[in-house]
A = this chain, B = another copy of it.
Amino acid sequence: MLTKIYFCVTIHRMFRFNNDYNQGAHSAVLNGLVKSNDESFPGYGVDEVCDAAAKAILKYTGGVNAQVHFLVGGTQTNALVISMALRSIESVLCAKTGHIAVHETGAIEKTGHKVETLPDVDGKITAEQIDAACTGCENSCTPDHITRPRMVYISQPTELGTMYSKKELSEISKVCKKHNVYLYVDGARLAYSLGAVNNDVTIADLAQLTDVFYIGGTKCGALFGEAVVVVNDELKPHFRSYVKQSGGLLAKGWLLGLQFLELFTNDLYLKIGKTAVEQAIRIKNAFESRGIKMAVDSPTNQQFVKLSKAQAEYLSKDFYFEREEVFSNGDIMVRFCTGWSSAEEGVAALVKKIGEMPQ
């Protein structure tokens, strides 16, 4: 009976490019969950699987002495890390399009902290902007009447699919250190920047250049889960207490550990990212072959493009994709998003249909 409910047999097959979290888990991850289902574990993430998963991740961090903690979701992780790191008079700087600024229902403000936004170009902010914001605050004639930036939040890749280069990230890191500001990288889609062709920022670089970052699982092959890597010693004490207080300490913590253990065995996480990005680039190329310039020059799994109403309707017959904005002339900005679960035949079909869609 249940089959009828979640095995919707549709005569016409639709392919989903609307996001990277529309299916369960990568088969390796699912198998791990199934195989361990009858085993018993200690609760709350104090178990050997979580330990093994942390070690597996730390193999990628280049010898940095870091803590690894596993949480369930991204908003939870962001609110936890930011509120744990900051005192009440301190604020976090981020891009105007930053996830914490626009898509988390004020979760950061709920913890008592101001999110200060900087104008971004395609999702990215610069070391110069951060420097100017911090310097402005330090030189304020009313220093007691303003919040002090104490953390910079960036995403890798960004909300718009762009990436920071190692040079850019190093400059941001340097300016953060100059102003005694933590650098925090939200890696909800990290696999997809790690897998980008021109990417030169490794996990080891993140561990070297940031104070804390997280490796996304939910959008990269896990059922759910994010792995927070805490590099700066100041942020380590009692981290688990903060997780519990924020409602993020999963009772069956090993479920998180074993998913990340699978993802970080045999470079699965990297492979997932690489494949999805290759698919995205094929989609990008298909649009460009039609003479359509992408709205954002994205080297990762998210591709934004402006379509005419006719084109959007044509593609929507066979594919799910996200509508971002409708313009007055009927044009539509849309997003095609590949991911760990994107079917090869879906990509091929999409490429073909892009070639055939109306002018």
Question: Which of B49, B75, B91, B261 is A106 in contact with, Cβ under 8 Å?
Answer: B91
Size of interface on A: residues with Cβ below 8 Å to B = 94
Residues on B with beta carbons closer than 8 Å to the beta carbon of A142: 103
Instruction: Digitize A94-118: 1 where CB-to-B-CB distance is under 8 Å, 0 elsewhere.
Output: 0000000011111101111111000
With A43-B19, A112-B109, A148-B238 as known contacts, state yes or no: A245 contacts B24, CB within 8 Å.
Answer: no
The yes or no answer to A147 lying at the interface (CB within 8 A) is yes
Complex: A109 Cα to B3 Cα, angstroms? 44
- A245 and B114 form a contact (CB under 8 A): no
- B144 and A251 form a contact (CB under 8 A): no
The yes or no answer to A129 lying at the interface (CB within 8 A) is no
Most buried by B among A40, A89, A224: A89
Residues on B with beta carbons closer than 8 Å to the beta carbon of A320: 40
Question: Which of B42, B89, B238 is A22 in contact with, Cβ under 8 Å?
Answer: B42
Whose C-beta in chain B lies nearest to the C-beta of A83? B88
A90 CB → nearest B CB, Å: 8
The yes or no answer to A133 lying at the interface (CB within 8 A) is no
Question: Which of B5, B36, B72, B89 is A245 in contact with, Cβ under 8 Å?
Answer: B89
Residues on B with beta carbons closer than 8 Å to the beta carbon of A36: 6-7, 24
With A35-B3, A89-B245, A255-B224 as known contacts, state yes or no: A114 contacts B109, CB within 8 Å.
Answer: yes
With A21-B43, A75-B247, A80-B247 as known contacts, state yes or no: A242 contacts B89, CB within 8 Å.
Answer: yes
Instruction: Digitize A145-182: 1 where CB-to-B-CB distance is under 8 Å, 0 elsewhere.
Output: 11110000000000000000000000000000000000
With A22-B43, A44-B144, A246-B247 as known contacts, state yes or no: A255 contacts B89, CB within 8 Å.
Answer: no
Complex: A341 Cα to B38 Cα, angstroms? 8
Most buried by B among A7, A43, A145, A218: A145
With A38-B23, A265-B1 as known contacts, state yes or no: A146 contacts B79, CB within 8 Å.
Answer: no
Complex: A287 Cα to B278 Cα, angstroms? 64
Complex: A40 Cα to B14 Cα, angstroms? 10
Instruction: Digitize A68-95: 1 where CB-to-B-CB distance is under 8 Å, 0 elsewhere.
Output: 0000111111011001100111010000
- Of A26-34, A304-312, A351-359, the stretch lying at the interface with chain B is A26-34
The yes or no answer to A252 lying at the interface (CB within 8 A) is yes
The yes or no answer to A271 lying at the interface (CB within 8 A) is no
With A5-B52, A112-B112, A144-B44 as known contacts, state yes or no: A247 contacts B37, CB within 8 Å.
Answer: no
- A258 and B6 form a contact (CB under 8 A): yes
- B252 and A39 form a contact (CB under 8 A): no
Question: Which of B35, B38, B112, B241 is A148 in contact with, Cβ under 8 Å?
Answer: B241
A-B contact pairs, 9 of them (CB 8 A): A6-B254, A21-B43, A27-B37, A33-B33, A77-B247, A107-B244, A110-B112, A110-B245, A246-B247
Residues of A whose CB lies within 8 Å of any CB of B are 1-3, 5-8, 16, 19, 21-25, 27, 30, 32-44, 48-49, 52, 72-77, 79-80, 83-84, 87-89, 91, 102-107, 109-115, 141-148, 218-219, 223-224, 238, 240-252, 254-255, 258, 261-262, 265, 320, 323, 341
